[in-house]
Structures are given as structure tokens and as C-alpha cells.
A and B are shown apart, each in its own frame.
Chain A
């Protein structure tokens, strides 16, 4: 399977999910189980993505101090109610600065 095929399949699948959700019969949403699923699953997925993209390197778990500190900076910025771009900039700046200092 070439990389182009993987890209094409990913693009088709991602668009298909978006379109299917938007086009599904409205009564599906009336089911309380679907409502709870649609509320809870993104929360679990996003939290899992944060954890994996911060602490996983392939299949290995490791603590990247600059990256962890950058995420900490994002938490501080969010606690201070900073705008979105400031949150991202604070995270990247702290990570970059620590990498520079730690060599």
C-alpha cells in the first residue's frame, strides 16, 4: 500500500464520517444513549490524545520535560483565561526555551 493510497483512504473516510453525522436522521439524536455517547466519547478521546501526544513516543512511554512543562504552561494560561492563541504560544515558547536551556 503506497502512502498515496493511505492518504486517499484517510481523506475519504474522514469526509464520509463528517457527512454521515450531518445527514443522519434527526431521531437518532433523540435516543438518550446516543446523546450521552456523543457527549462523553469526545471527552475521553481528547484526553487520551493529550496523554498520548505528550507522554508517548511510538510504543514507548517517556517523560519529555520540555514538552510536559509546555503543557503545564498551557494549563496556567487557561487558568488565567488567556485567549486560545496565547495558550498555544505559551506552551510552544516554554517548550522551546527549556529545550534550548537543557541543550
Chain B
């Protein structure tokens, strides 16, 4: 592997790890505002370590929703990490016990950085750098955000509520903005997923609309096999 691709993978990983890691402040603040204790917020960041599921569960707790439905929604959101794991297994090429700690790092950000690299060696480097930096910073800022909620009484004042959607947009952007046929094919899928989720929002409990958008994709795949 060339030194330039390796340092570029490290730079990508640190950039995403630091930027997304810092947004853990928004999660810690949201969790404590929703009524979770500092220990509960930190437990989610340490052991669930997948932002969308964490935000989904906290949103249901804040809304006083059913905890069983909230847990199911958070778990099903976490199912996409299984899909990332399927795609990353060949690149990471791990055997035995090494899979146990590495599996914890298979999330949106690490997969996105790894898949943006030109070769497998730098993909592995990008994955590990993103995982380690993001894990350390995400957990530190979760603690800071939830402890600091007394002075961050309303996270909305700092605009932190837009960090979640902006993060997802930044992850999605490179895959939709290209002029290639794949990007052209993915744009209607993204638009359809967003439309389905918004249409279902008034009629289903929080968490369900996002899952319905995945079902629509499944239906499309079954109708138009290629």
C-alpha cells in the first residue's frame, strides 16, 4: 500500500471520528433531557454504540412511549449494521476471537470510511481509525453532554437537534450525488424512503415509519428482480 493512501485513510477516519464523536454531546444532552440518568446515557453509548438506535430509544422514552416498542424500533434500526457487517466481512477478514471486539465497530461511519478507500489495506486502516477515535470521543462527549445538561438545559438553543439529520445526510451524500448510473438509481430509493416515512409518521408509533421505508425497498426488489 502506498503511504499516501494510508495517510489519506487515517485522515478520513480521524475526520469522521472526531466530527461524529463530538456530536455525542447532542446525544448525552438529549438522553438526560428525556429523563435518562447519566449512567443510562453512558451505558447506551458504551454498549449499543450506534447513534440512530440510541436516539430512537431516547426519543421514545422522552415521548413516554411504550418501552417495548421503543426497544424493538432501536433493535431493528440496528439491523442495518448486520448488513454493513455482511459487506465488511470480506474486507476485514477476521477469524476467531478478533471478531468479538471488531464487530462492535461495524456502524454507518466506519463502513462509509472503509468503503470510500481505494484498496482493502487502506479500507482496514480507515475502519480501525474511525472506530477507535469515534468510540473514545463519542463516549467522552456523551458523558460531558449528559453531565452538562444543567447548563445545556435546552439543547435546541445550540441547534444540536439538527446534528443527527445532518450526520445522516453527510453519510448518504457521496452515494447520491454522483453522475454514475448507480447514484441515479439510488436517488429515487432515497426519495421514496423519506416519503414513506413521513407519510406513515401520523399513523404509527415513533420508530415504525423508518422501518416501513425498508419494507418498501424489499417490495421493490421482489417485484423487479435483476
Contacts and interface: CB of A to CB of B under 8 A. Distances in A.
Interface string A37-63: 111111111111111111110111100
Interface of A: 1-7, 9-11, 13-15, 17-24, 26, 28-29, 32-34, 36-56, 58-61, 66-67, 70-71, 74-75, 78, 83-85, 87-88, 91-97, 99-100
Contacts of A21: 81-86, 88-89, 103, 106
Interface of B: 15-16, 18-20, 22-23, 35-36, 40, 43-44, 47-50, 52-55, 57, 61, 63, 67-68, 70-71, 74-75, 77-90, 92, 94, 99-100, 102-108, 156-173, 175-177, 186, 189-198, 201-206, 209-210, 212-214, 216-218, 220-221, 225-226
A45 B162 contact: no
Contacts of B105: 18
A41 to B, nearest CB: 5
Contacts of B221: 33, 36-37, 40
Contacts of B156: 99
B84 A42 contact: yes
A34 B23 CA distance: 32
A29 B214 contact: no
20 contacts: A5-B67, A7-B40, A9-B71, A17-B75, A18-B104, A19-B85, A21-B82, A21-B85, A42-B83, A43-B189, A44-B213, A47-B189, A49-B197, A52-B198, A52-B201, A60-B201, A61-B201, A71-B166, A95-B161, A96-B158
Contacts of B79: 17
A70 B48 contact: no
Contacts of B177: 78
